[in-house]
Structure 1
């Protein structure tokens, strides 16, 4: 598939290299020709100088046959305008925009434009490492009502079947992270030491889930 990236900073150039290594064709746009120096010498994709919301620039980058568009420049406005042009003018369905202001990110999520709120994401990741207990939202639906959260669980849950955990805590386990791999649990899956539990839940239920997972009820729940 062909992917157009706007912004040849550290994120954009890294994405370009990863996508090319995976066999995709890539075009990368930046206002500064100097930015393309971040690309490795063997980069085979297109380098297009200009702004990512200019139609001629986008066409030069191959937007008309692109399967995806990514806006990761340093400007929120440029990123969101470019993403909207890619989607609304050229019909690219798979668009993602990096947004530094989390309040703006929520607005554009509701408009159906997926965003990565850089500041909020970074803060969440730092907090997750500083305060490992509790629950950390990893994804929210556009309306902010449903979340995917990483749930901190008490070690006493180790050895408990996931189905039993779900019944006791009243939640749905989406998957487990175990030794760097993701596992979709079945009826016989048991929580092991070191597992990270990811749940799907309503956002207003997060505090209750954190408290419920932090203490295993008395009795035989295995």
Structure 2
């Protein structure tokens, strides 16, 4: 597809890289020349210096032949205006990043009236992910499928666990829980395991289960699932605001430490149930005085990666809290890989995955399209497909399907009933089907068969 990305900040650069890898023709647009030059020198894409709200610039970028325009500048209003002009200039699909919390209650109206294909709020999506992980402390990643009826949960197998040495085929029977192990990460290696695959301590394993069965599994496996009661957030960012609003509905004691006094006053009005502290969290006495040692969860989500890393390392040393660390620079991956930073939060990747999912749906000609897409890691994707009338695998038992290598059918949602499939189960028209694969670029359910 021909895709125009307006805004070459961290989100725009991440999108350009991810969508370029998918084989799309990309044009980036930004008012500043430096980010345009940086991206075009790194990637094989075209760049234009100018405003994405300029009709002339959009024409130069090829808007008349574009399939998709993505507006991810730092201004919500500019993003919306850019999409509006693009819709007037062509028949392309449009996606706008809209971050401001004040637009949340109006987003459906805005999307419909402006004929937007999609709006994305990275901070809200990140906060929702953090909320899920706080509610199930044993998991390091949780991704919902089938509109939340089933989840993909990633966790580490601790030392001396009863899972150590257990074969994948024995998990459900021995623990009396209905689930499916779909990915195992062992050091640098990633496996989509067969039934005879043997688990080991320190493996990182991803399972598919309903929320109820997941909690039951963690209990039976002897993996700590104590409820989180005390949460400390460093940085009064938009993510912190969204997360605090979500957590205020639970019986959680929430403390936010923010250096800017004006922002503290805003948060105090918005979040009456949270304790807002005006202080510099890098002062170790502040964290100790505010009870870091008693926290169950700690989130360093300031706008500075280096500060977040230092704060999380300090929290790891002085508490048993579940750690969240916001890091937006992808170039830090190799440096931080072995650091005890807990769960890495990257809103840019959340945005890229959502828009990539939308792009794949647009490409699909058969109606068996991608409904949900998540990256489990750099090598593995989990996708949920709708089974349209042109699906070639309808009615055939899974054990008889000729699946491509490294593909596992993990779940079937049949009108709200969740099926963790065996070889005897089959797919029907109208089902949504969850698959895990190391094969990149799947756009259609038919792509999983030979």
Please state whether the residue corresponding to 1:206 is helix, strand or coil: coil
Deviation at 1:4, TM superposition (A): 0.6
Q: What does the per-residue CA deviation read over 1:84-125, in whole Å, with 9 as the maximum and x for residues that have no partner?
A: 1111x2133411111221232464344342212222321221
Taking a change above 3 Å as real, the CA distance of residues 93 and 217 of structure 1, as seen in their structure-2 partners, is same
CA contact (8 A) 2:385 2:432 kept: no
Tell me which residue corresponds to 1:53. 282
Q: What does the per-residue CA deviation read over 1:24-47, in whole Å, with 9 as the maximum and x for residues that have no partner?
A: 111111111222313445623321
Deviation at 1:19, TM superposition (A): 1.5
| Distance of 1:19 and 1:44 partners within structure 2 | 10
Q: What does the per-residue CA deviation read over 1:170-194, in whole Å, with 9 as the maximum and x for residues that have no partner?
A: 4334445677x79461336544526
Residues 1:6 and 2:6 are matched in the alignment: no
Residues 1:149 and 2:382 are matched in the alignment: yes
CA contact (8 A) 1:3 1:69 kept: yes
Higher RCO, Cα 8 Å, sep 6+: 1
Residues 1:168 and 2:168 are matched in the alignment: no
| Distance of 1:80 and 1:97 partners within structure 2 | 7
Residues 1:115 and 2:344 are matched in the alignment: yes
Greater Rg over alpha carbons, structure: 2
Tell me which residue corresponds to 2:306. 77
Taking a change above 3 Å as real, the CA distance of residues 163 and 115 of structure 1, as seen in their structure-2 partners, is farther
Tell me which residue corresponds to 1:35. 263
CA contact (8 A) 2:267 2:276 kept: no
| Distance of 2:339 and 2:431 partners within structure 1 | 38
Taking a change above 3 Å as real, the CA distance of residues 2 and 173 of structure 1, as seen in their structure-2 partners, is farther
Tell me which residue corresponds to 2:197. none
Q: Which runs of 5+ in 2 are unaligned?
A: 1-228, 365-369
CA contact (8 A) 1:173 1:198 kept: yes
CA contact (8 A) 2:412 2:431 kept: no
| Distance of 1:115 and 1:191 partners within structure 2 | 36
Q: Which runs of 5+ in 1 are unaligned?
A: none
CA contact (8 A) 2:384 2:435 kept: yes
Task: After TM superposition, list the pairs within 5 Å mapping 1:129-140 onto structure 2.
Answer: 129-132=358-361, 136-140=373-377
Tell me which residue corresponds to 1:210. 442
Tell me which residue corresponds to 2:432. 195
Deviation at 1:67, TM superposition (A): 0.8
Tell me which residue corresponds to 1:99. 327
- After superposition, the CA RMSD in angstroms is 3.4
**Bigger Cα displacement from structure 2, 186-195 vs 43-52:** 186-195
Taking a change above 3 Å as real, the CA distance of residues 49 and 190 of structure 1, as seen in their structure-2 partners, is farther
Taking a change above 3 Å as real, the CA distance of residues 109 and 206 of structure 1, as seen in their structure-2 partners, is farther
